[in-house]
Homo-oligomer: A and B are copies of this chain.
């Protein structure tokens, strides 16, 4: 048995079923990524992580656990990584992005649930994802109906802490969210046995802000007329950012950005002349969900920005640093997380429309695709406002709904192709 298989066996995984996933991924990965031309050399790091996606990082986490550190699994950009890091624990994102896990999830959840939630549940209960096995504790949030109920089922199997996210952004909601962050920090202290000091919290804010700055720098490179990196490669980096070590990820993204900025100076673009520049908005694209990016970019378009949770919502806006008191630091976290993430779970959510229109300008896009996971009622309903505002701004928009199956790939390809062709004229 090789090292990975030994680790997976030790984690109590279903090796036989997991092998099927391991066998399918390289082909899928190759089709999407290795067919791209002229990729940045500094994708080498991300290539390596992706090639052994259930191995390298998982082994690091297992090793950290042996040294007494806790691993905390999260599902949402509202959960502040800073609180986990300040307790000397490690965050790992757990959202599932493959159809592989969906049937197992449907044993526990209604079929009419969004594929991300079904896949996440399936990955845990099917014992086919090492990160779900490694996580000592899960952190949920009350963002949507599907998740709040799924967490109840998960909590029968593993310790789950749920953060009660307000659904409005009034002054009292910010205070409520500060209190939720404090409760979460207490939970982290209890669970890890480590005290969260002001110094540690300020340090962790700086650590995560540095990661945010690196990702923002990466996105800034895409604003240029010369597009030095594909949307597909950027998406992979974002997906890895959710579970990689934050300091190393920051360094690697900055190393890549050095190359990308040189590419811009040298006029090296991955996009063909005149390729329509696309902004994607909507629901998150969890690893390994690369379907939409692949369709767009293999149909002649170039994705230059993602206004979603695996895009700008993840890194935009920094947390205020060097806070003088614990209360000030917690308020800084509340302000950044509640104040600046414009998820469709808010009522109303005009900030998202503002974000989309601003990003469309900043990234000089030719068209917008509002793409939402099937059965995500929040985003599907918010499309009513999103589509109208985009049309009013005179920007072409295509609305899509999809899941993790391949059954609609050809239909999506046809619709996206027609949209890109229209933009090309």
On A, residues with C-beta under 8 Å from B are 108-110, 112-113, 142, 144-146, 148-153, 155, 162, 164, 166-168, 172-173, 176, 179, 344-345, 347-349, 374-375, 377-378, 380-385
Contacts and interface: CB of A to CB of B under 8 A. Distances in A.
B109 A381 contact: yes
Contact of A113 (B153, B377, B382): B377
B162 A164 contact: no
Given A112-B112, A173-B164, A179-B172, A377 B152 contact: no
A27 to B, nearest CB: 32
Copies in the complex: 2
11 contacts: A109-B384, A110-B377, A145-B145, A145-B377, A146-B377, A148-B345, A149-B344, A149-B347, A155-B348, A172-B176, A172-B179
A151 to B, nearest CB: 6
B166 A381 contact: no
Given A108-B384, A110-B377, A110-B383, 7 more contacts: A110-B380, A146-B381, A148-B167, A152-B347, A152-B385, A153-B384, A155-B348
B112 A348 contact: no
Contacts of A144: 145
Contact of A348 (B108, B152, B381): B152
Nearest to A376: B145
A377 B375 contact: yes
A112, A151, A344: residue with the most chain B Cβ atoms closer than 10 Å: A112
Contacts of A168: 142, 162, 164
Given A149-B347, A151-B347, A179-B172, A381 B113 contact: yes
A381 B142 contact: no
Q: Which 9 A-B pairs have the closest CB atoms?
A: A149-B381, A110-B380, A148-B347, A145-B377, A142-B167, A145-B145, A152-B348, A145-B378, A146-B377
Contact of A377 (B112, B153, B345, B381): B112
A164 B164 contact: no
A65 to B, nearest CB: 28
A150 B109 CA distance: 24
A33 to B, nearest CB: 32
Nearest to A378: B145
Nearest to A150: B381
Nearest to A110: B380
A259 B374 CA distance: 51
Contacts of A176: 172, 176
B374 A112 contact: yes
A179 to B, nearest CB: 7
A3 B179 CA distance: 56
A303 to B, nearest CB: 24
A240 to B, nearest CB: 30
A194 B382 CA distance: 36
Contacts of A381: 109-110, 113, 145-146, 149-150, 152-153
A349 to B, nearest CB: 8
Contacts of A152: 347-349, 381-382, 385
Contacts of A113: 377, 380-381
A172 B144 CA distance: 21
A149 B112 contact: no
Contacts of A345: 145, 148
Contacts of A151: 347
A354 B171 CA distance: 36
A309 to B, nearest CB: 16
Nearest to A380: B110
A113, A146, A149, A179: residue with the most chain B Cβ atoms closer than 10 Å: A149
Contacts of A172: 176, 179
Contacts of A150: 381
Nearest to A109: B381
Contacts of A374: 112
Nearest to A143: B145
A172 B175 CA distance: 12
A214 to B, nearest CB: 33
